[in-house]
Amino acid sequence: MINLFRNYNPLNVIWLAVLLFALRLGYLVQVPEKLEFIFVEPFARLLVPVKYEYAFSPALNVVLAAVLVFVQALLINSLINHHNLLGKPSFLPALMYVTLSGLFTPFLTLSAPLICNFLLIWMLFKLINLYKSDDAKSTVYDLGLIVAVGSLIYFPFIYLFLAIWIALLIFRAFYWREWLIAVLGYATVFFFLAVIYYLNDMLPRFSGIWLPLGKKFPDHISITSYTYLLLVPVIIILVLCFFKLQQNFFKSYIQTRKTFQLLFFIFLITSLSFYINPQFRLSHFLLCTVPASAFFAYYFLYAGKRWFYETLYLLLFISIIYFQFNKI
């Protein structure tokens, strides 16, 4: 399977769709009677003055989520191949994203983090372009706007504002105007939100939007045992990827090295920003699948022993399907 996607063959799009369906089949067989879909935060509910939470039937909800994942997988594949991050074109980034986006059952339905992944991919296109940009002020302003829009949809997305400053540190010399313009871009969206609050006589509530940022980081997370088991092959692949990256780090182009550094920081930010949610939800970690798919693709492209990497991916694939039918 991995060897098939190592090649940049347009026919792999068909196989990608087949695998996407296979990774959701177990959930479709026993889909719940009702699935809620919330794509804006409560403080931004004024922007969507209609009831939409149960607009889709459960089966349609899952199918639409799969379509979005498929489109995002192709976008990620295009991004990584366009910037030659892996050294040669392949369909591995798309395969890894489709696989990781099926890891847990909360990943399989429409959710705010899934919508935000479009914004994160858009950000990556712009962030990587900072490296060769002569004047980055307009790009940085746009990035601030994107993070602000993402915050309206899913508030933990606000922490990806740090990714803008980290990218400026990695890709460019320090220029304080670029750092400030990112803030102005973010503030623009919330200025218009404040106007809407004012027009609805709700301005005193506006300052409460940022109260979750002061929430204490949790001491422990309560997740099921099957979640731990599914994370075993994921952690193994990540560790092997970092070893492989370390071996080839100084053999890569400067832009490639810097981009993987940025992806690592984005992975950390998306992993740790879950805590400001009122309730812990596994769907948050869909944001991690965008940078993780690049790391996974890098490992599987350069892994040496075919029997080992094929077995490792097959183990992950079978585990995902097994736990959709059997919850421990």
pLDDT score, position 222: 66
Contact 151, 157 (CB under 8 A): yes
Pairwise pLDDT comparison (242 vs 187), residue with the higher score: 187
- CA proximity to 16, closest of 85, 99, 102: 99
How sure is the predictor about 326, in pLDDT bands with cuts at 50, 70 and 90?
Answer: low
pLDDT score, position 270: 94
pLDDT tens-digit series, residues 3-15: 888 888 888 899 9
Confidence check: pLDDT of 298 > 60: yes
User: The pTM is what?
Assistant: 0.92
CA distance 21 to 28: 10
Place of tokens 């991916």: 313
Confidence check: pLDDT of 47 > 90: no
pLDDT score, position 242: 85
Confidence check: pLDDT of 325 > 70: no
Pairwise pLDDT comparison (48 vs 152), residue with the higher score: 152
Question: What percentage of the chain has pLDDT greater than the value 70?
Answer: 95
Domain-by-domain residue ranges, the chain? 2-208+222-325
Contact 260, 294 (CB under 8 A): yes
Pairwise pLDDT comparison (308 vs 266), residue with the higher score: 266
pLDDT tens-digit series, residues 125-146: 999 988 877 778 889 999 999 9
pLDDT tens-digit series, residues 169-212: 998 888 888 899 999 999 999 999 999 888 888 888 888 888 88
pLDDT score, position 253: 75
pLDDT score, position 130: 86
Give the relative orientation of helices 137-153 and 176-199 as an angle to the nearest 10 degrees: 40
pLDDT score, position 17: 93
How far, CA to CA in Å, does 22 sit from each of 17, 26, 318? 9, 8, 10
Contact 286, 101 (CB under 8 A): yes
| Mean of pLDDT over the chain | 86
Residue 62 CB-half CA count within 13 A:
22
Residue 149 CB coordination number (10 Å): 16
pLDDT score, position 226: 66
